[in-house]
Amino acid sequence: MQNPVQAVALSTAPQAAPAGISIRNLYKIFGPTPEKFLGPVREGMSKQELRDVHGHVLGLRDINIDMPAGGIQVVMGLSGSGKSTLIRHINRLIDPTAGELLVQVNGQPVDVMKMNPRELLRFRREQTAMVFQKFALFPHFTVLENAEYGLQVQGAPRKKRRDNAVRWIERVGLKGYEDNYPNQLSGGMQQRVGLARALSNDAPILLMDEAFSALDPLIRSDMQSVLLDLQQEIGKTIVFITHDLDEALRLGDRIAILRDGEVVQQGTGQQIVLKPADDYIASFVRDVNRGRVIRCRTLMLSGARVDGPDVDPGLVIEEAARQLSAESKEAANVVNSKGRHLGTISMSDIIGAIVPPNPEPVPEVAPVQAP
């Protein structure tokens, strides 16, 4: 029986083409007459006034995000920021008060908000899959039956759905557990079943709402590694919701940070860490290990080759520093995958980038007097 945390061989089965997502001017107001307050909200009515005076709740205000096709878009924020509300608009589990949500389907942009019920049902079944925080497995189904459920709903032949489910169960490291029931598995293993179920129907869009938040830290880190390994293979358009910045920085090709239903800042992890938009974002990134976020391409300088190792431009500077230290070198050459020399990066520059600017002074401690 295979250990569920061990990696397994990559699958060679063909995958569906990735889809990009564009959200335009999206608003969501909860209450009996949301359209009545759309104009005032657009003109700047506060969330507090809308709630306290008019009895409505502002979920989202003027959201504009372009999510990369075939990449991982992380949406993060504290509780109540609107991140889970946002992801539920993508497959229209929640309808907006106003706005557009364009998804690339077979190479063409389609507005999910304009789909009729039949089109929406097909879109949900064939174009999207969702992984939930609480696993949402059927307790009376085995691991195999849970994993093949999406294809069963689509009406796929029994052999096809079984073969596909078995392949993904193995791919997420659960080979040998096909006949077990969810209550016989650990939390991390149950989440792997949820991931296998989402992947089995080969939908190009994968929606993950706080998918790893209920897991212990070590299992959570392991699941992040599983997802990153899978993404190298499958190239899905993944929308990942989290409240954890370290998780966002590790997983996200791009990150959007929400506060009170609005996008405060979006960009790459490096952009957010190095240039926080305001004090709110700065407070998030203050304690980030910059060595695990900043990449060699950001610090490299033009110049001739030096006596040192070659590093990839996408390598995080912490790893570059480790290589330099192991070889007792002061600088490395930044070289692309084709062997072209792009520039150099030095240990001193790495150290300068890892240490945050203007660190707070360490308070002086009065010496303890001997009795």
pLDDT at 67: 93
Bridge pairing between strands 57-67 and 205-209:
unpaired
Spatial neighbors of 77 by CB under 8 A, at least 6 apart, are 83, 243, 257, 258, 259
Q: How far apart are CA 325 and CA 334, in angstroms?
A: 16
Say if CB 200 and CB 13 are below 8 A apart: no
**If pLDDT is split at 50, 70 and 90, which confidence band does 14 have?**
very low
Residue 62 has pLDDT above 90, yes or no: yes
Say if CB 97 and CB 29 are below 8 A apart: yes
Tell how far CA 15 is from the center of its chain.
20
Say if CB 64 and CB 86 are below 8 A apart: no
Return the minimum-mean-pLDDT range out of 11-20, 42-51, 219-228.
Answer: 11-20
Is residue 324 one of the residues assigned to a domain? Answer: yes
pLDDT at 358: 56
Domain CATH code at residue 331: 3.90.1280.20
Is residue 306 one of the residues assigned to a domain? Answer: yes
Instruction: Give the mean model confidence (pLDDT) for residues 200-228.
Output: 87
Is residue 343 one of the residues assigned to a domain? Answer: yes
Tell me the residue range of the domain where 342 lies. Answer: 292-354
Residue with the two structure tokens 């696993």: 135
pLDDT at 298: 87
Q: Which residues pair with 130 in a beta bridge?
A: 207
Residue 103 has pLDDT above 70, yes or no: yes
Is residue 70 one of the residues assigned to a domain? Answer: no
DSSP 161-210: HHHHHHHHHHHTT-TT-TT--GGGS-HHHHHHHHHHHHHHTT-SEEEEES
For 157, which DSSP code?
-
Is residue 54 one of the residues assigned to a domain? Answer: no
Burial of 312 (0-12, 13-18, 19+ CB in 10 A): middle
- Total domains in the chain come to 1
Task: Report pLDDT digits (tens) over 244-293.
Answer: 888 998 899 999 999 999 999 999 988 898 889 999 898 888 888 888 88
pLDDT at 19: 55
Q: How far apart are CA 254 and CA 247, in angstroms?
A: 12
Is residue 84 one of the residues assigned to a domain? Answer: no
Report the predicted TM-score, pTM, of the whole model to 2 decimal places: 0.80
pLDDT at 357: 57
Percent of the chain with pLDDT over 70: 90
| Tokens coding 206 | 């994968």
Is residue 297 one of the residues assigned to a domain? Answer: yes
Is residue 217 one of the residues assigned to a domain? Answer: no
Say if CB 60 and CB 85 are below 8 A apart: yes
